[in-house]
Each structure stands twice: as structure tokens, then as C-alpha cells.
Amino acid sequence: MGCVSSSKDVFEYHYDAIEKTNSDTLGRILHDQTANTDVWNTEIAVRNNNDLTENRLLNIPSEMWDNCCRRSGSASDLSRDTVDAYSPINRSDSPLAQTPENNYMFGCSKYIQDLRPNPTLKNILAVTSKEDSVWQSIATTARNLDWTVNRVTSSEEALECFHKGNGVPAVAFVDCRYQNDKTVDAHQIARSLRSIRKNAHVVLVALVRKSFVVKNEKDVTSILTSGFNKIIVETCNKNVWIKELQQLEKEDITMRSMLAQQDAVLAALDKTKDLVIITDLKHNIQYMNKSGSMILGYAAEDVVNKPLAAFHQLGDIDQITKKLEKNIEWDGKVSWKCKNGEHVYLQCRASPFRSFGKETTNYIYVQESIGEGHGYPRGSVPSIRKGSYDLKSINSDGAQSARRQSLAKLHNLPLEAPITKVISLICTAQENSNDQVVQILDKVVDILRVTELYSSHLKTENIKYDDPVTSDLIGALITQGPVHVTSTRRSSNDSATVKSQPYGLGIAKMNFMASVTPQIKELLDMALYWDFNVFKLEELTMKRPLVHLGMNLLTHFEVHKTLGCDERTLHAWLTVVESHYHAKNTYHNSTHAADVLQATAMFLEKDRIKRLLDQLDEACCLIAAITHDIDHPGKSSAFLCNSQNDLAILYNDISVLESHHAALTFKLTTRDDRLNIFKGLEKDTYKVVRQNVIDMILATEMTKHFEHLAKFVSVCNKPSTLDDAPIDGLTPSEVSPEILAPTSAEEINLVKRMLIKCADVSNPTRPLKMCVEWAKRIADEYFNQTDEEKINHLPVVMPMFDRATCSIPKSQIGFMDYIINDMFETWDSFIDMPEMLYYMRSNYQYWKDLEEKGTISYSDVCKMPLATTLPKIPESGGNNAEN
């Protein structure tokens, strides 16, 4: 007894034929007789024509099938190993299946292993008009093996069983022994059954007489062609039926279960939003899922058997296919051509797939789509794009795939951050753009995705400085944390301890100005001119310029009223604050604070700023200016880090000084009601003030200079009025108000940061006399630091700032070139302050001239007479430079 059945049977049968010479079944006779051609060909035809799905599931591609069948004429060619390896049942045990390439996308062996045949499938429908001993033998054996057996006596009844849908038999035995039996028409049953899709997986067995297979090759062919899977020769031998039924259960029914499972997998592929394409080895598309059709607009028939390259936009598909041909996975972006001529740019992972054996059998392309539960309209690509740009840099291992998923999820969160909106807008723009633009925009998106969006990529080591002094200065200013960390020596005299100086609270008067000398009063009358002489004030007030200028300007801006405190508190606060500036510092003392306050007040007077800021903003700006360097030790943050100062330890080497200035401001102010200028504020208002003041103080940190500047330029550099608007050929009426002055809270914050930053380093834009004085003072402070570093064997942060050798003009030219000039040009275009720019430019020239003359040292500069070199102030400028 034997049979010719499914593709797998062909191999196993073939193997049996090699192995066993003692043939006792007709099947083997059948094989022997037909080993050479027609029946095999017919069998293949049945497979390929009637049951493509099965062929795919069995993982025996037609070329392999062909090869093996071709070889069936010389059975000894086929080694046992090869046959075993091809056998789905044996494959998982075969050496081939256990090779390391199991990492490789391997085919169904795993699934076959995993598969547990559904016990409810063990039911047989016997279709025969005559219940003879052969049928009794089949039925008894089957029931003993736990099969359910039902019998019907006509074709109609048989088809009825399949049409009703419930409990459709897994196996149908059709009696084909009686050629003239009109009640059971085997061909009709087979054809009707196969015409209904849901019955495609039923195992149809033809029960025939021995003479049928021995003599009628044509009839064998015809019965297989009509849709039968197996031909079994009649027998009453129960052992034969046991073997047949076991084979049916283990193989045929298992195969049917797998087919059902594959259908489920295909249905799942059709439900996924990812676009999946499978090609053969020649890169012809074999399968594209529904998402593919939805996104690209093609029906499956449009693409199947077409070369993949026909649906690809750029020529780089070759690069992908070449990788795949070398069995290398490929990950990257692919531009697919849609049916309507548009293009979709998707992140794709292409993998070789090996269904069996050692060779690749297919290539699988999965394009990841992430996002909303939409019904895949063609325009739904933004969600896919989101995935695509997130996934760009990701390689091909599983961990990165997981990361890809979480990134994708992150981007799907309803985050309302402006940057996510921007990215979303860019993605929308990409949809209608050509590839070149898409690629450029992808790069833009990549840049936008970085967290430190506005931090400058201008690193110390990347800047080409004109000279070493500039290199030292700018490098030190824009570098965070400790420098020259090679030294492990600890400083023995950390200098940043907070030293309170004695101060008197009782002197505050309601009318502070009444108590000051006429000279001071006269000077303070000029407090809102750019050429206000703060050094004169320093001198007249015996180094207490901050209290005097502070009272003058804070009352001018009515800060006490805004804060709800009296002038007495204001005065007490200023007194305490000033006392916490170190008078011994040549630069970072209360005169510098007064200078920054004065510049801040001047900026606040500008129309554009007035329009933007309310009184609370003004108060915050003035308070931040007054306190921004409180308790400055006269050494840089880098020095504090290098010397492991307590402050550096407290603030983890991050924004050490600025953090300290801000923290001390609030500590001092709030610890004593008599000087607590915030006491009168509502809790929420206080929070806002605190936040604002801290933000502005921190903004003075020079390591963030380029970041703040870039942000300001990109966000706030718009025309202030419609009259200023005619940019890019637009007339004022054509300019929408949104592109004018900044309005959002964030934009206002940027303006305030820029304001205090400019005030903080405005000294090179002051009248020459003051500019030079500041330059000498800062250089002196730097020299002191260098001296101290050398004495204490600390890393020298700015070695060029050596009292004996340093070129002051060079340091100023460098400072202006890298920090000041661009910043003030930008600021001037925002607030319109020509005198500031005028001084800046003429001062720059002054330093250039000095450098040319070789007047470079600190003492040289000190000796230079300034009066004669003072420039003329332009019309709108100050009038007080010589005070």
C-alpha cells in the first residue's frame, strides 16, 4: 500500500524508494512505474496550479521542487541528508537546521516544530455508496486511532457536509473504485470542493483499485488534476491503514493546520500598518501586503512578479539588493514610487530570508510605519515619516529595533513642544517635495532632534584664533567646568568663601536722594545716558555706587511700587547686596554691578523693550542686573573647579558662579524681612519673579553665550514695526503681524536674557575712557588669577594673561571679534541704539591702532592719554563722556 501525495510526500516517498528495496505497496510500484516523468509532472502541476499557498507554506520553492523531481529519474542521486533536510518534519533535527545561520531569517522549521495539530481535525468523511470490507477496515482502524468517521453515500451529501461550514471534515475519502457509479462522482466532488476557498485545505483521498494505478497513468493524472491530494489503493490490511492514518495525521493534517496558520499570518500582515514586500531571488515582487497597496496605491496584481526596482524612486535600490545578495541586512531610507507619481520616503529594513537549505530563498522588505489608527489614506504618511526620521541612525540589531519602537512611541505622544510642531510641519512639507528637498529636510530634522538645539557647535578646539591671547580668553569664557584637569593638586586657599561685610540698615530714608551730595545728585541725573560715568560715581560714593545708582534707577522705574515694598526696604536690600560684592576685585565689584544696572536701565528705556516688557519684567531685569555677580570671588568658575572650591563641589562644576550668584541673591533677600523686597508679593508672583531673576542671572554664563545668541537671533530677529517690515520685497501691509515683534512668554524671556547679557559685557561699547578702564580692570583680575594659579600650582586657565607679557589690545580685539561685535550689531538692530555701536566701532579701531603702534602691555595702556582720542558722539548719543 502506498501513495503519491503532497510535495513532502514526494521527497519522502522518493527516499523510501531508495531505502527500501522490498517493496510491498502499490504506491511504491506506482513510483517505480512513474518515476521517470508524467505522474511527477502532473503532481507538480497540481501543486503549482491548484495550491500555490500550500507550496509556499511547505517552503519548497518550485525551483527546488523542480530539481528534486528532475532527479527522481535517478533515485540514487538524492542523499538521505538532503532529503531529510528538505523534509519539514525532519528539518529541525537536521544538521543544516542547527547551523549558526539560524540567526538568519529562517523559514518554517520553527513553526513546524511549534505546531500542535488541532485534535478536532481528526475527522474523516467517507464518501461511498457501498460499505464493504475495505470501508469497514478503514473506519474501524480510524476509530481505534481516535478519529471521528462519518459516512455519506452520494456526491450531494458529501458536498452538503462541506457547505454547511460547521465541523468540516479534515479528510475526505472518496470511493473511486467504481467508474460507473453515478451517485459518487469523484471528479465532481473534487472540483466543487476546490472551488470553495474555505475547503482548500481539506485532504482529499481517492480510494482506487490496484489496476487503476497500474494501468491508467492518464486516470491517475486526471484524478490528481481534479483536486485530489492522495491516491490510496484499496486494502483490508489494518496495518496499512494504521500507517496511512498516522501519516495523514502527522503530515497532511499538520500541513493543513499550517496552511490555516499561514493564512492567519498573512491576514495579520494585511492588518499591520507596516508596508511589507517579499521578493524572490531575482528581486521580483512576490507579495505586498495591504498597507503596501494603501500607501503606494497599487493593487497586489500590479506589483506581483514585477521587479522591485520598478517601484523604487532613486537608483540606489541596487545598493540594497547587492547587500542582500551577500546575505547582509540593510537598514535605511527608501523612496518608493506611488501609483499617482508621488513618492513616499520610508525607513526600511531589508533582510534575506532562508526558507530551507543553506541558500537564501527570498528577500523581505519591512518599511516601518508608526502612528495613528487611521485607515491608511495616502496622505497619512506623516506618521510614517515620523518613524522614518527617528529611525535613521539605527542599525540592524534587536536592541536598536526596540529603541526604534520606543522612539516612535515617544514621537507619537501628544507633546506640544514647539520643536515637535516644527518637525511635524517639516514632515508635512516633505510629502509634497522632491527627493532632494526631502533629503535636505531630513537633515534639518536630524539637527532639530538634538536636545541642545541652540548650543553652539563652536567649541574652543574648533575655533581658529588669530592669536594666543584671544585663544586663552575666549577658550576660558566659553568652556564649562575644570580645565587642564591633568593637575590633581588641590588649592590651599580657595577664594570663594562668602564674606559678609558690615553694613548699616538704619540709614535708609524715605527720600534717599535728599541725602546724597549735590555732586552725586548731578551725576545721577545723567544715569540714563550711555556715557554715564560709573567710575566717577564709584569715586564720589566711596565705592558704593550700587546703592546710589540703584536707589536712583529703582525708584525711577518704581520697582518698590511694583514689588509692594517701601524705599527703605529697597535701600536696605541694595546696601546688603552691595556689601556682598568684593571691593577688592578690580573688575567684578559693585561698580561692575552698577555699570550693568545702568546699561540695563538704558535698554529698558528703549521703545521696543518698553512695548514688550511689563513692570514686573522691568523689576526683574533691574534686580538681576544688580545681583548678577554678587559675591564674585574675582576668579572664574574654571578656577573654582580646578581648585575644588566648595562652590564647585556644591554645583557639580556646572554654572558654578552664576548658580551661586542666583542662590545667594534669594538667600540674602528672603532671610531678613527688613530687606526682603519680595515680601509684599503674592506667592505666585514671587515665584514668577524668582524664576525670572534666576533665569537672567544664569543667562550671563559665558559658556552659553552662543546658545543664547543663536536662539535670540533665530526667534527674535524680526522687524519691530510694520514700518520696519519691508523685508524680502514685502510692503508693510503685506507683512503679517506674527512676524513682527516677539510676543510669546518664551520670546520675551529670550529678550530679557539678551538684555542682561549685553548689559553684562557692554563695557567695550562705552565711551573710550570707560572702555579702556574696564579693559584694564578685567585684565588685572585675570592677571591676579594667573598669579594665584601659579603660586598654588593650579592649572593656569589663561596662561597668556600674564601681567608682564599680555597684550591688552590683542585681548580686547579678540574679545570684540568673537563675543562683542556680532552680539551688539544684533542687539542694536533690535533696540536701535546707534551710540552703542558707534562707541563699539571706534573703540575697536582704538585697540587696533594701539596694537599697530606696539602699545600693548598693561603699563603701556595705563600710560596712554585718552582725552585726545575721545571720539565725537553721534547726534542721539550721550553727552557726558568726560564727566
Ligand X SMILES: Nc1ncnc2c1ncn2[C@@H]1O[C@@H]2COP(=O)(O)O[C@H]2[C@H]1O
Query: Helix %, strand %, coil % for the chain, to 5?
Result: 55, 5, 35
What is the C-alpha to C-alpha distance for residues 161 and 767, in angstroms, rounded to an integer?
105
For residue 439, give Cα distances in angstroms to 272, 344, 392, 426.
Answer: 27, 12, 12, 11
* Cβ nearer to ligand X, comparing 526 with 840: 840
* Smallest separation (angstroms) from ligand X to the CB of 629: 6
Cβ–Cβ < 8 Å for 751, 712:
yes
User: Buried b vs exposed e over 597-631: b needs ≥16 C-beta within 10 Å?
Assistant: bbbbbbbbebebbeebbeebbbbbbbbbbbbbbbb
Q: Which residues contact 629 (CB under 8 A, 6 or more apart)?
A: 581, 588, 592, 593, 596, 657, 661, 700
For residue 750, give Cα distances in angstroms to 1, 331, 712, 728.
Answer: 90, 41, 6, 25
Long-range Cβ contacts of 774-777 (<8 Å, 24+ apart): 774/587, 774/595, 775/808, 775/811, 775/812, 775/861, 776/808, 776/858, 776/861, 776/862, 777/586, 777/587, 777/592
> Which spans in 353-456 are helix H?
381-390, 398-412, 418-431, 435-448
For residue 196, give Cα distances in angstroms to 165, 227, 263, 318, 583.
Answer: 11, 12, 15, 42, 98
* Smallest separation (angstroms) from ligand X to the CB of 408: 43
* Smallest separation (angstroms) from ligand X to the CB of 342: 53
Torsion sign over Cα 341, 345, 349, 350: positive
* Smallest separation (angstroms) from ligand X to the CB of 619: 22
* Smallest separation (angstroms) from ligand X to the CB of 727: 32
Q: What are phi and psi of 336, to 5 degrees?
A: -95, 145
* Cβ nearer to ligand X, comparing 330 with 639: 639
* Cβ nearer to ligand X, comparing 273 with 777: 777
Nearest 5°: CA angle at 601, between 596 and 605? 145
In the complex, residue closest to ligand X by CB = 815
* Smallest separation (angstroms) from ligand X to the CB of 526: 22
What is the C-alpha to C-alpha distance for residues 600 and 752, in angstroms, rounded to an integer?
10
Helices 545-556, 615-627: inter-axial angle, 10-degree rounding: 180
Q: Which residues contact 713 (CB under 8 A, 6 or more apart)?
A: 826
The footprint of ligand X (CB under 6 A) covers: 473, 477, 629, 700, 702, 760-761, 763-764, 774-775, 778, 811-812, 815
Q: Is 760 annotated as a binding residue?
A: yes
* Cβ nearer to ligand X, comparing 481 with 680: 481
Q: Is 793 annotated as a binding residue?
A: no
What is the C-alpha to C-alpha distance for residues 746 and 756, in angstroms, rounded to an integer?
16
What is the C-alpha to C-alpha distance for residues 193 and 189, in angstroms, rounded to an integer?
6
Cβ–Cβ < 8 Å for 448, 419:
yes
* Cβ nearer to ligand X, comparing 93 with 467: 467
* Cβ nearer to ligand X, comparing 64 with 477: 477
- Mark whether 588 is an active-site residue: yes
* Cβ nearer to ligand X, comparing 473 with 696: 473
Which amino acid belongs to residue 664?
L
* Smallest separation (angstroms) from ligand X to the CB of 379: 51
Cβ–Cβ < 8 Å for 473, 723:
no
* Cβ nearer to ligand X, comparing 491 with 812: 812
Q: Is 591 annotated as a binding residue?
A: yes
Q: Largest Cα–Cα distance in the chain?
A: 136
Q: Is 31 annotated as a binding residue?
A: no
* Smallest separation (angstroms) from ligand X to the CB of 602: 17
Catalytic residue, candidates 588, 632, 660, 705: 588
Q: Is 560 annotated as a binding residue?
A: no
Q: Is 628 annotated as a binding residue?
A: yes
Q: Is 571 annotated as a binding residue?
A: no
State the DSSP code for 726: -
Annotated binding site for Zn(2+): 592, 628-629, 760
**Residues labelled catalytic:** 588
Annotated binding site: 588-592, 628-629, 760, 812
Annotated binding site for AMP: 588-592, 629, 760, 812
